[in-house]
Amino acid sequence: DAGVIQSPRHEVTEMGQEVTLRCKPISGHNSLFWYRQTMMRGLELLIYFNNNVPIDDSGMPEDRFSAKMPNASFSTLKIQPSEPRDSAVYFCASSFRAGGQNIQYFGAGTRLSVL
């Protein structure tokens, strides 16, 4: 398996523009997570899905952020409108949720710069 695939790897945009980050989880995994990493706050959970259903979105900072998972093999995180303080690395992770270890596998991340 190719692992968790995120695109784009880098995104530079201007304040006010819409940004869409994409994630393809590992085939067979039924949980998907979106995290954001900054120097100040470290890695923080934004939202996660189980079986394509959002379970906890309490980490989504504002209404400007939205996430969807239309099927088991694809998810998007959208920021509209984007602001400079949204600049961070956004990671997607997936896991197989069942009894047991439930290890999360991370993608390489999308580095977002909002000018």
Binding site for another protein (CB under 8 A): 4, 31, 33, 42-45, 48, 50, 56, 91, 93, 95, 97, 99, 101-109, 111
Q: How far apart are the first and last CA of the chain?
A: 36
Cα–Cα distance, 36 to 88 (Å, whole number): 7
Q: Which is nearer to another protein, 76 or 108 (CB)?
A: 108
Strand-pair category, 53-56 with 65-71: unpaired
- Residue 71 in tokens: 């099927």
Q: Shortest Cβ distance from residue 37 to another protein (Å)?
A: 9
Q: Which is nearer to another protein, 81 or 96 (CB)?
A: 96
- Residue 39 in tokens: 């120097």
Q: Which is nearer to another protein, 31 or 75 (CB)?
A: 31
Cβ 93 vs Cβ 2: under 8 Å: no
Q: Shortest Cβ distance from residue 74 to another protein (Å)?
A: 18
